[in-house]
């Protein structure tokens, strides 16, 4: 009986501190890093090609969720694909770079090394 009474007193003393600690530990929203998604991809290869294209133009970009999709491609559906993100200031230029089609320049490339 004495141990129960001592335990009750200890709990009553600790309850206010526990309540204050719980209030102080409210999850805070993630900070806005200033990134916006300019494109999403289903495959890691396509995402890295687009990332390389932006970096070749001098636009700093990052891939998000690429490792999760690489582990199991079914995660691509759940995560919404691999996200290619750039800073807000570079978003318009990045979209323009990604929309540009350079396939016509391949017609001029001599692949087999033979002269026509």
Per-residue pLDDT of 11-41, as tens digits, reads 888 888 777 776 666 666 555 668 899 999 9
115 or 49, which is more confident: 49
Residue 70 CA to residue 48 CA, distance in Å, equals: 12
Q: Which of 14-18, 42-46, 107-111 has the highest mean pLDDT?
A: 42-46
Whole-structure pTM value: 0.62
Which residues, at least 6 apart from 61, have a Cβ–Cβ distance to it below 8 Å? Answer: 38, 51, 54, 55, 84, 85, 86, 90, 94
What are the residue ranges spanned by the domains of the chain? 35-100
Residue 66 CA to residue 50 CA, distance in Å, equals: 13
48-104 pLDDT, tens digit per residue, is 999 999 999 999 999 998 888 888 877 778 888 899 999 999 999 999 999 988 777
């Amino acid at each position: 009986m004495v141990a129960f009474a001592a335990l009750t007193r200890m709990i009553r003393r600790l309850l206010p501190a526990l309540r204050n600690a719980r209030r102080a530990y409210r999850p805070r929203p993630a900070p806005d890093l200033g990134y916006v998604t300019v494109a999403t991809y289903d495959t890691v290869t396509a995402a890295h090609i687009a990332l390389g294209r932006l970096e070749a133009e001098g636009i700093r970009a990052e891939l998000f969720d690429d490792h999760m999709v690489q582990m199991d491609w079914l995660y691509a559906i759940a995560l919404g694909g691999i996200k290619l993100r750039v800073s807000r200031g570079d978003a318009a230029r990045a979209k323009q770079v990604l929309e540009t089609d350079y396939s016509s320049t391949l017609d001029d490339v001599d692949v087999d090394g033979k002269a026509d």
